Chain A
C-alpha cells in the first residue's frame, strides 16, 4: 500500500519538478489553514486533527517537493468562533483550508468559503449539509447517512439485537443526521426501534432516557453522539445496572482518552470507524509509530483523518500544479478539478471523491475490549451505504 502511494507521489513530484524547473525554483510554502476545536467540549477531536495534520505536513515537507505551511486556528466547536477563525486565516492568506473538524461549525464556515471561493477539505465533519450544494467542500470522513445506515446494517447482519433504542442529541446536526438515516435503514431491515430518546447540549442527567430504553426492552442502545455525553450515559447506565450493547459511531472515538474515565464502563461498546490503530498494513503501522513517537499517544480516527487530509491536499496540489503564488480563488477551481481524478491510499482506507465532495471508502467496526479497540471486518456490510452516499 505504502509503496504504491509513495510511487504515485514520486511520479507526481517528478512531474511537478519538471514544471517548476521551467518556472524557476519555488521556495515559498503553500499556505494551508486548519480550523478545529483546540479547547472546549470537543477539544479531543481538534487536538487530534492538529497533531495528525502536523505530522503529515512534516513528512510531506521532508520529501523536499512542494512545501506546505500549516496555520492552526481554534474554534471551540462554536460556529461563530469558527467563522472568526476562518476570517483570520483569510487575512493570513490561506490558499486552502483543512477543516473544520466538527459539523455545526463546518456548515457555517463552508457557506463563507463557498462565497469566497476557498477550497475546503474537512477531515471529520460528516454531515451531508457540509458539502450540500457547495462544489468547493470535500470530506475525508464518510457522511452521516453512510454511518447511520452502515450501523443499522451491521447490527442487523450480525444479529446483535432486534429491539433497539436510540439516544441522540437533538440540538446537534451530526447526531440528528445519523439518527435519521439509521431509523430509515433500521425500518427496512426489520430492526425494531423500541425507544427514541433525545437530549440537548446542557443535559447531564440521562436517567430518564436510559429508563425509557430499559422499559422498552431494548437489547441494544445506539448512540450517534459525541464521546462526552456518551461517557455520562455509560456511567449512569452502570449505576442503574442497565447492560445492553452500546453501539456508537465515530463521535464515540476518544472516549478512552477522557482523563479519569473508568474504561471498564466502556467494555463491550462497539463503534463504527474507518480507522483502527491496530491494523497491520505498513501505512498504518508507520503512521501509528511516528504519531506515538511525536505525541506519546495512540492516534485516534480524527488524527488519521487529518493525516489523510494533508496527503490528499498534497496530492491534489501537485496534480493541479499549484504554487505559493496561486491566488486562493484559482486554487479552489484547480483543486476541485484535481480532486475528481485522485485515488488516495490513506490510513483510513482507499478514497475516491465524486463531484458532490463525498468520499467513498470502507468503514470498519471495532469493539472495546480491556480498554483498547479490537478490530472487526465489516467491509461487506458497509460497502453499499458508502456508495449510496456517494451517489446522493
Chain B
C-alpha cells in the first residue's frame, strides 16, 4: 500500500509540473487561439537563467527564480511581438509553423550561449522532506513546493481572469476578438499580457522541473513541453482547471504505467490516454463547459 502511495505521490509531483506548463499552453491558446510550441523552450531558458543567477552570481534561490521570471516575461513578450503579432491575420497553420521555428531557434540559441554539455541544476527548494509511516513513505520538499505552487497559481489565475478588469478583457478577447476590439479593448496589449503571464509561469515551471530532474540542457524543455501540451488537450484546451487536472492525471498515469506495466512504455501510456480521451470526449475532460473561455 505504501508502495502504491509512493508511486502516487511521485505521479502527482510529476503531474504538477506538467500542470504548471500546461497552464501556459492553455492560457495562450484560450486567448490568442494559437499553439505556442516554443513554450517548452521558454521553460528551458527560464531554468538556464535561474541556474546562472544562482550558480554564477551567487544569488539566493528565490531571487534566482524571480530573475528568471522577469527574463522569461521579457522573452515571451518579445517573441510575441516579433514572431506572432505580424502573423495575427495569417492562417493558423502559418502561426503554428512559426511557433515550431521559434522553438528550434530558442534551442539552438541556448546551445550557442550555454553549450551542449548538460548542467546539473541545484534544487531551488530548501525545505526538507516529510517522512510518513516510519520512513516507508517519503514526500520530498520539491514535491510539496510543486503541488502548492500549482494550487496557488491555479487559484490566482482563476481569480485574475474572473475578477479583474484585465482578466475580463482576456475573456472578452477569447470569446470574440473583433467585438472586444469594438468595445475598446486593446487586443494586442491583452495578448501580450497573456504571453507575459504564460512565460513567467514557464520560468517557475522550469525551476521546479529542474529541481526535481536536475539535468539541464538545451533540449530539457521539449519533452515536458509536449507532454504538458497533451495534458492541456486532455483537460480541455483553454480551460484553466482543465489544464491542472489534465496535468496531474497525466503524471499519475505515466508513473503508475511505468510502475505496474512497463518502465519503458511510460510515454506510450501518456499518448494512448490522450487518444482514448479524444475519441470519447473530443473537447477534453473539462473542454465542453469552458472551452471558449480562459
A159 at the interface (CB under 8 A from B): no
- Nearest B residue to A199 via CB reads B263
Whether B255 lies near A259 (C-beta < 8 A) is no
Q: Contact string, B102-128, partner A, CB cutoff 8 A, digits 1/0? A: 000000000100011111111000000
Tell whether, in the assembled complex, residue A204 and residue B7 are in contact, meaning their CB atoms are under 8 Å apart: no
Which residues does chain B contribute within 8 Å of A197, judged by CB atoms? Answer: 263
Chain B neighbourhood of A200, CB < 8 A: 264, 267
Q: How far is the CA of A202 from the CA of B48 in the complex (A)?
A: 19
Residues of chain A with a CB closer than 8 A to B186's CB: none
What residues of chain A have their CB less than 8 Å away from a CB belonging to chain B? 38-41, 43-44, 170-171, 197-200, 202-205, 207-209, 211-212, 215, 228-229, 231-232, 235-236, 239-241, 258-262
B116 & A258 in contact (Cβ 8 Å cutoff): no
Cβ-closest chain B residue relative to A259: B119
Interface footprint category on B = 35 or more
Q: A198-B263, A231-B120, A258-B117 are in contact. Are A211 and B7 (CB under 8 A)?
A: yes
Neighbouring B residues of A204 by C-beta, 8 Å: 213, 215, 223-224
Residues B215 and A231 in contact, CB atoms below 8 Å apart: yes
* B41 at the A interface (CB under 8 A): no
- With contacts A211-B6, A260-B121 known, what are 12 further pairs, Cβ within 8 A? A38-B116, A199-B263, A205-B213, A207-B255, A208-B10, A208-B255, A208-B266, A232-B213, A239-B142, A241-B138, A258-B118, A260-B122
- Chain A residue contacts of B122, Cβ below 8 A: 260, 262
**Chain B proximity of A21: nearest CB distance (Å):** 47
Complex Cα gap A211–B260 (Å): 12
Q: List 24 A-B contacts (CB under 8 A).
A: A39-B111, A39-B116, A43-B115, A44-B117, A198-B263, A202-B267, A205-B14, A205-B258, A208-B7, A208-B266, A211-B3, A212-B259, A215-B3, A231-B120, A235-B120, A239-B212, A241-B129, A258-B118, A258-B120, A259-B55, A259-B117, A260-B55, A260-B121, A260-B216
B291 within 8 Å of A (CB atoms): no
Give the total number of A-B pairs whose CB atoms are below 8 A apart: 94
Complex interface residues of chain B between 221 and 250 (CB less than 8 A to chain A) = 223-224
Is B217 an interface residue, CB under 8 A from the partner? yes
Q: Check if A258 sits within 8 Å of B119, measured CB to CB.
A: yes
Q: Which residues of B contact A171 (CB under 8 A)?
A: 264
- Structural contact, A260 and B223, CB atoms closer than 8 A: no
B188 at interface (Cβ–Cβ under 8 A)? no
Q: How far is the CB of B130 from chain A (nearest CB, A)?
A: 12
Bound state CA distance, A198 and B263, in angstroms? 6
Q: B264 to A170, Cβ gap below 8 A?
A: yes
Is residue B214 within 8 Å, beta carbon to beta carbon, of the partner chain? yes
| Residues of chain B contacted by A44 (CB below 8 angstroms) | 117
- A211–B216 alpha-carbon span in the complex (Å): 23
Chain A positions within 8 Å of B3 at CB level: 211, 215
User: Are B129 and A239 in touch, CB under 8 angstroms?
Assistant: yes
Contact A232–B255 (Cβ < 8 Å): no
Interface membership of B140, Cβ < 8 A? yes
- Contact in complex: B223, A202 (CB < 8 Å): yes
Q: Which of B1-44 contact A (CB under 8 A)?
A: 3, 6-7, 10, 14
Asked if B259 and A208 sit within 8 Å, CB to CB, the answer is: yes
Chain B contacts for A43, CB-based, 8 A: 115-117
In the bound assembly, the distance between CA atoms of A202 and B142 in angstroms comes to: 21
Q: Is the CB of B117 within 8 A of A260?
A: no
From B114, which residue of chain A is reached at the shortest CB distance?
A259
Chain A proximity of B168: nearest CB distance (Å): 39
Docked-complex contact B119 and A205, CB < 8 angstroms: no
- Is A240 a contact partner of B138 (Cβ separation < 8 A)? yes
Query: Which residues of B have CB within 8 Å of A209?
Result: 263
Measured in the bound complex, the distance between the Cα atoms of B6 and A212 in whole Å is: 11
Return A354 CB to nearest CB of chain B, in Å.
Answer: 36
Q: How far is the CA of A351 from the CA of B135 in the complex (A)?
A: 50
- Neighbouring A residues of B267 by C-beta, 8 Å: 200, 202
Does B195 reach chain A (CB closer than 8 Å)? no
Question: Are the C-beta atoms of A232 and B116 separated by less than 8 Å?
Answer: no
B51 CB–A CB distance under 8 Å: yes
Known: A202-B223, A211-B259, A232-B215. A260 touches B119 (CB 8 A): yes
Question: Cβ of A41 and Cβ of B263 under 8 Å apart?
Answer: no
What's the Cα separation between A262 and B123 when bound, in Å?
A: 10
Please indicate the chain B residues that have their CB under 8 angstroms from the CB of A241 in the complex.
129, 135, 138
Contacts of A202 in B (CB 8 A): 223, 267
Decide if A205 touches B255 in the complex (CB within 8 Å).
Answer: yes
Residue of B nearest to A239 (CB): B140
* Residue of chain A at shortest CB distance from B117: A43
Q: What are the residues of chain B within 8 A of A212 when measuring CB–CB?
A: 259, 263
Contacts of A235 in B (CB 8 A): 120, 214
User: Cα distance A200–B267 when bound, in Å?
Assistant: 10
- What distance in Å separates the Cβ of A87 from its nearest Cβ neighbour in chain B? 22
Q: Which residues of A contact B258 (CB under 8 A)?
A: 205, 208
Bound form: Cα–Cα A324–B216 in Å: 44
Shortest Cβ distance from residue A372 to the other chain B in the assembled complex, whole angstroms: 17
